Amino acid sequence: MASDRKGQGIHNQYLKIISGSSKGVAANIGRSLLCFFEFLYKGVTEIRNWLFEKGYLKIEKLPIPVISVGNLTAGGTGKTPVVFYLVQWLVALSKKSAIVTRGYKAEIDLSKSHLVSDSQGFLLNEKEAGDEATQLAKSLPDTPVWIGANRVQSGWRAYQESGAEILLLDDGFQHRRLARDVDIILIDALRPWGYDHVLPRGLLREDKKNLKRADLVLITRSDLVDEEALTSIEKEIKKISPEMPIFQTTHEAKTLRNLQGNPIEFAPSNLIKKAYLFCGLGNPQGFFETARQAGFSVVGKKEFPDHYSYDPTDLIFLQKEAKELGAEVLVTTEKDGVKLESFGVTEIPIWQLGIELSVKNGEDELKNVIMSKYNF
């Protein structure tokens, strides 16, 4: 949509200002104004956290264990592959889990809780449920996925109606009303500290000192930076919480599917094709690099705003660009793919690249840390 593309231009300019790459008087004035609003926002978040810690705001406990996967920064840190990894592990332990997420950009009324899908199939479509919930439901067809602004209500319904034995709370670090047994924080190695400022001056959702609330930290996309950068991130974490368990993880391309969901052989003959990459993510560079590492010969790429709603003119543009650059395929994410299914077959095929989490160091220790918090 034209309005979304205009919004992407504004967002890119905003990132240049907060990162400091935009210079000049206007940029300096902009940063000064954002500092004022940062002061207000940070104050509100600190008061809210204090109210929870002192018991003035109620924290509600479910009868089942809750594992929260969240982050300190706005934008994509790779939560979905982590949730997928945890569900697969719990399946191996013969534990029935359910996923609770807000349902960002869902068209359905989020003041109530809704079941997106379970082992019987889909109850909501992508427009109603939003792209992230739909992607989770498609990737994990036997795992109930619930959406709603009230995560406590969704959690109770997952327990009572879906028979969940363990709840996975997606993007839950700041949603403190629901008690959790394990708090997992993700830090993106490419953009770890959100330019060291709280929103809107930076991308931190709250002061990074609050990292101490977490039970463990996963550094995602750790293969996309050098050892010096990883050491710096770990030192900063240890400065905040000296005993914090830290695990380095990577995002690895594992599967290929067309827009109709049919598998495409994940083989060198397909992975060496000339590819035009596109996505609508909070942090697109991670996807682009993962696709390149998978073996694709990248001839072009296009960023869209996070959670972008594609229309036919976008497909015409992408097909034209890809054709002019000699691309054999267009490659996108599974999150984008759920919004493109209705467009049918295209002249240059569009493939969805499936990405999974891999733990670089101490996978057994990671699982032991989680299990030590609650006797699964």
DSSP state of 339: T
- Same structural domain, 214 and 363: yes
Question: How many angstroms separate the CA atoms of 242 and 265, rounded?
Answer: 45
Q: Which two tokens stand for residue 42?
A: 């940070």
> Considering the domain boundaries, does residue 60 fall inside one?
no
DSSP states of 248-289: EEEEEEEEEEETT--EE--SHHHHTSEEEEEE--SSHHHHHH
Question: How many angstroms separate the CA atoms of 346 and 276, rounded?
Answer: 14
pLDDT tens over the chain, length 376 residues: 555 556 667 878 898 999 999 999 999 999 999 999 999 999 999 999 999 999 999 999 999 999 999 999 997 889 999 999 999 999 999 999 999 999 999 999 999 999 999 999 999 999 999 999 999 999 999 999 999 999 999 999 999 999 999 999 999 999 999 999 999 999 999 999 999 999 999 999 999 999 999 999 999 999 999 999 999 999 999 999 999 999 999 999 999 999 988 999 999 999 999 999 999 998 899 999 999 999 999 999 999 988 899 999 999 999 999 999 999 999 999 999 999 988 888 899 999 999 999 999 899 999 999 999 876 6
Question: How many angstroms separate the CA atoms of 275 and 64, rounded?
Answer: 45
Smallest Cα–Cα separation from 249: which of 171, 293, 185, 298? 185
> Considering the domain boundaries, does residue 127 fall inside one?
yes
348: left (phi over 0), alpha (psi -120 to 50) or beta: beta
**What backbone torsions phi and psi does residue 170 show, to the nearest 5 degrees?**
-85, 130
Q: Which two tokens stand for residue 183?
A: 């708090």
- Same structural domain, 185 and 308: no
Question: How many angstroms separate the CA atoms of 136 and 246, rounded?
Answer: 25
DSSP states of 33-94: HHHHHHHHHHHHHHHHHHHHHTTSS--B--SS-EEEEEESBSS---HHHHHHHHHHHHHHTT
Which pairs count as long-range contacts for 89-96, CB under 8 Å and 24+ apart, including other chains? Answer: 89/367, 90/166, 91/142, 93/376, 95/165, 95/166, 95/376, 96/163, 96/164, 96/165, 96/166
Confidence (pTM)? 0.94
Q: Hey, is 247 helix, strand or coil?
A: strand
Name 71's bridge partners.
186
Burial class of residue 264 in the structure, from the number of CB atoms within 10 Å of its CB (0-12 exposed, 13-18 middle, 19+ buried): middle
Query: CATH no. for residue 93?
Result: 3.40.50.300
DSSP state of 119: T
DSSP state of 343: G
Say if residues 220 and 249 touch (Cβ distance below 8 Å): yes
**Whole-number pLDDT of residue 2:** 53
Question: How many angstroms separate the CA atoms of 116 and 113, rounded?
Answer: 10
- Same structural domain, 322 and 176: no
Say if residues 304 and 4 touch (Cβ distance below 8 Å): yes
> Considering the domain boundaries, does residue 4 fall inside one?
no
> Considering the domain boundaries, does residue 3 fall inside one?
no
> Considering the domain boundaries, does residue 59 fall inside one?
no
User: What is the number of domains present in the chain?
Assistant: 3
- Same structural domain, 257 and 275: yes
- Same structural domain, 216 and 280: no
> Considering the domain boundaries, does residue 313 fall inside one?
yes
> Considering the domain boundaries, does residue 230 fall inside one?
yes
Smallest Cα–Cα separation from 208: which of 181, 240, 184, 233? 240
> Considering the domain boundaries, does residue 2 fall inside one?
no
- Same structural domain, 165 and 47: no
Domain that holds residue 260: 253-356
Smallest Cα–Cα separation from 296: which of 276, 279, 318? 276
Q: ω before 200 within 30° of 0 (cis)?
A: yes
**Whole-number pLDDT of residue 4:** 57
Cα-based angle 316, 261, 172 (whole degrees, multiple of 5): 95
- Same structural domain, 189 and 116: yes
Question: How many angstroms separate the CA atoms of 244 and 65, rounded?
Answer: 21
Say if residues 115 and 157 touch (Cβ distance below 8 Å): yes
- Same structural domain, 169 and 304: no
- Same structural domain, 44 and 111: no
**Whole-number pLDDT of residue 376:** 62
**Whole-number pLDDT of residue 343:** 87
- Same structural domain, 323 and 246: no
- Same structural domain, 154 and 292: no
- Same structural domain, 267 and 284: yes
